[in-house]
Amino acid sequence: MFTQLKVERTVYEVTDKSPLYRELRPHKTQRIVKSGHLANLIESFKNKGSALKDVPILVDRYGKIREGHHRYLAATALGIPYYVMQVSHMYENMIAINTNQRNWDDGDFANYWAVMGRTPYKIYNKVKAEHPYISYGVLVSIFNKKSGRLQSDSKQFKEGNLTLDHLDHVSRTVRQLAQLKGIGKNPPLDKSTYSKQQFQSAMLEALQNVSFDFEKFKKNLTTKKHKLNILGKRTDMLKEIYKMEGK
């Protein structure tokens, strides 16, 4: 496919004179384009377009972009050359490549493994779509039946090893979190507070405490004064949650 292009070692240079210049398309496993990241790359490449040579766009044998879609879009937006390298055995290598070079977030990994056919990730994405206010990280903790996310859990999630061992727990926990949306009158629980990972993580710890009375906590939240909206730390929020439950 790239035999007519200038070759530098194993990397092909593609200029705006090439008929292939704007013809690359992302593989279905590529993450959704993020406008902020793309804008930053465009600004960076205005003066440092040559840096693209050091991080070539990786394509499979069909010419589909497997890594570097944002770089490709930035280069073509500026009309500057980009560089490609054809890579095989992409299935095994893409996660390692993107983890090291691209810093994918949890949503990117979830979408990748869902596209690759992993059922737990399809269910994870479904739950996330139904409960968008729950952060990706907190949802990983819920799927692992943990109150916090361990480094080992994060590694397993990124490597495609999410399981469905605790589906009952997932269903119950997301239902309980949903019941807190818009609750409270003195004052109402702010949307920004409800959506904070610190608050959600604190709630996970409380919910996994067998002595915690969730129904009492909900009732008191609607009738008693609370400070949850002005707290920022998880530990402080947890203390306030237990205080509200004990009133």
Average pLDDT over residues 75-99: 71
Every domain range in the chain assigned CATH 3.90.1530: 6-101
pLDDT per residue over 109-118, tens digit each?
888 788 777 8
Check pLDDT > 70 for residue 122: yes
3 state DSSP class of 121:
helix
- Can you name the CATH fold of 6-101? 3.90.1530
Check pLDDT > 60 for residue 1: no
pLDDT per residue over 152-180, tens digit each?
898 899 888 999 999 999 999 999 999 99
pLDDT of residue 127: 95
Are the C-beta atoms of residues 13 and 6 closer than 8 Å to each other?
Answer: yes
pLDDT of residue 207: 95
CA distance 222 to 6: 69
Model pTM score: 0.66
CA distance 118 to 150: 22
pLDDT of residue 6: 47
Phi, psi of 7 (to 5 degrees): -110, 130
CA distance 145 to 129: 20
